[in-house]
Amino acid sequence: MGRVIIEGIPAFRDKLGQEVAVSDWFEITQARINDFAQAAGDFQWIHVDIERAKKESVYGTTIAHGFLTLSLLSYFLGESVEMRGARMGVNYGLNRVRFTGPVPAGSRVRAHFVLAEIEDIKGGVQLTWAVTIEREGEDKPVLVAEWLTRRYY
């Protein structure tokens, strides 16, 4: 789909209800999973113990933390959409998030962003993104979320 450029608030309103962007594919390496485990303090064996995961996990390999996949939303949006004219943007939270499938080490994922809602706030707008993250080669998404961001002008 390529990088989408959005020039100011009126351009956001033109995108309401549409798929605004699809990110490039991104590989989830074991090194990234290990780094996330270190940062989050979450060393559950299904994420970091390759040999045990081969033997005991229903997935036959290690899988990414759900929160690792979720944490990539900012990266995916930043790589996919250039929002011009704002002084700054912030994450505002999530209304809903579901981890709907595993992300095995070595797999590739990408995000789809639909602008579901735009609301005026003091000094800017609040955007509600319907986000789906898919894993390459799978029909079912691995994550679905309703994500709130704010842009201040």
User: Got the DSSP string for 67-124?
Assistant: HHHHHTHHHHHHHHEEEET-SEEEEEEEEEEEE-S--BTT-EEEEEEEEEEEEEETTE
Tens of pLDDT, residue by residue over 108-118, are 999 999 999 99
Do 11 and 20 meet the contact criterion of CB atoms below 8 Å apart? no
pLDDT at residue 1, as a whole number: 63
Tens-binned pLDDT, residue by residue, of the chain (153 aa): 679 999 888 888 899 999 999 999 999 999 999 999 999 999 999 999 999 999 999 999 999 999 999 999 999 999 999 989 889 999 999 999 999 999 999 999 999 999 999 999 999 999 999 999 999 999 999 999 999 999 998
pLDDT at residue 8, as a whole number: 85
Query: Is the backbone of residue 59 left (phi > 0), alpha (psi -120 to 50) or beta?
Result: alpha
Instruction: State phi, psi for 41 to the nearest 5 degrees.
Output: 70, 25
Tell me which amino acid residue 76 is: F
Q: What is the DSSP letter of 53?
A: H
Residues in the chain: 153
Domains plus CATH for the chain?
4-152 (3.10.129.10)
Q: CA–CA separation, 48 vs 68, rounded Å?
A: 13
